[in-house]
Amino acid sequence: MTVQVIASAPGKVTLFGEHAIVYGEPAIVTAISRRLYVKTALRSDKNLKISAMDLKIPGIVLTFISDTGELTLETDYGRVVSAVSYIKKAVELTANYVGEMKGANIEVRSTMPVGAGLGTSAAVAVATVASYAYALGYELSQREIAKLGHRTELEVQGAASPMDTSIATYGGTLYIKPRTGEPIIEHLKLKNEYPIVIGYVERKSTTKELVAKVKRLKRKREEIISTIIRLIGKVTEEAKKALLKGNVVEVGELMNINHGLLDALGVSTKELNDLVYAARQAGALGSKLTGAGGGGCMIALAPGRIAEVSTAISIIGGAPMDTQISAKGVTVEIQK
Ligand code: MEV
């Protein structure tokens, strides 16, 4: 019977520090209870058959063409290039890393919306690395998975901080500060409950476009934008202290400040701002956009007000999602 390996990785929300982390400032990110699953079953040929209905990929065949481990397409997959590229690159890098290239059937399922800023591309990369390596007989360490996952994002996107792939691998709540070589990663032991509602609106720009937008603005107004970026870093440092003390009110206040600074960087939208303010009016202690912005997701810290904040978000056209934070990182399970 064919052995199937299922790896799953969590989505994430950035609590503090998105965009600023691209310029070396710290960020705080937490894994959420919504997950993405990658199932791998090895084949006897060199084909890689990908099916990911939740990512709108009906069935695609790629083939290892040479000993360099490069995968080439047998079919034209047109508009789905982006989602497939992460799976393709993660398999290529893993095959090269362990020095074995075998065909496989790969099936992806997701319990979170794709491309919404919840870190689905990192979850795809990390779960594919873990699942494919395990199917080949290699149990990679979390550090190896995180590194290969980050290289996947870097090669597909051109630029990416290690934030999303680190949280998809390690889970929990992480304080991450980039530095040359490997980032500083600290697991934060939260001292309180932080009930969060995620609100989602349609995304108008990609992460890549938004990162480029901030870069352009920074080039044009170096002093002002660098100051805002440094300030976001300071907010994140204060938030770390508040989270460790369990001071929910202070965490909420700092989320509001962080949102204002992100808006100043030009990455929020009217729709996101509407959700952010509706959540506060409905009793959230703090709310901010999360991820790259340009639409996508916002989060609201709403102890005792989850129902009210969810209703407020849906009344003005957002889709509320309830979730737990500090969820588990990548896990692997075998089905015989
Ligand atoms: C995207 O989830 C977060 C950004 O900071 C980009 C990155 O960290 O690579 C906008």
Residue ranges per structural domain of the chain: 4-178+327-335, 195-324
Q: Give, as one character, the DSSP assignment of residue 295.
A: S
How far apart CA 285 and CA 21 sit, in angstroms, is 24
In the predicted model, is pLDDT for residue 92 greater than 70? yes
What does the block give as tokens for 186? 């600290």
Atom 8, ligand 1: residue with shortest CA distance: 161
How far apart CA 203 and CA 118 sit, in angstroms, is 12
pLDDT at 203: 87
Listed in sequence order, the residues at least 6 apart from 3 whose beta carbon sits closer than 8 Å to its beta carbon are 41, 42, 135, 334, 335, 336
Span 133-142, pLDDT tens digits? 999 999 999 9
The mean predicted confidence, pLDDT, of the chain is 90
Percent of the chain at pLDDT exceeding 90: 73
* CATH number attached to the domain at 195-324: 3.30.70.890
Span 168-205, pLDDT tens digits? 999 999 999 998 888 899 999 998 899 999 999 998 88
In the predicted model, is pLDDT for residue 313 greater than 50? yes
Beta strands in 244-303 (DSSP E): 286-290, 296-301
Rounded distance from Cα 159 to ligand 1 centre (Å): 9
- Mean pLDDT value of segment 254-272: 98
Judge if the beta carbon of residue 116 lies within 6 A of ligand 1.
Answer: no
Judge if the beta carbon of residue 62 lies within 6 A of ligand 1.
Answer: no
Confidence of residue 125 (pLDDT cuts 50, 70, 90): very high
In the predicted model, is pLDDT for residue 51 greater than 50? yes
Q: State the angle between helix axes of 81-98 and 120-136 in degrees (0 to 180), rounded to the nearest 10.
A: 40
Collapsed DSSP state (helix, strand, coil) of residue 15: strand
pLDDT at 76: 41
Q: Taking a C-beta distance cutoff of 8 angstroms, is the pair 327, 33 a contact?
A: yes
Q: Taking a C-beta distance cutoff of 8 angstroms, is the pair 86, 121 a contact?
A: yes
In the predicted model, is pLDDT for residue 113 greater than 70? yes
Atom 6, ligand 1: residue with shortest CA distance: 19
Catalytic-role residue among 76, 164, 263, 274: 164
In the predicted model, is pLDDT for residue 236 greater than 90? yes
* CATH number attached to the domain at 4-178+327-335: 3.30.230.10
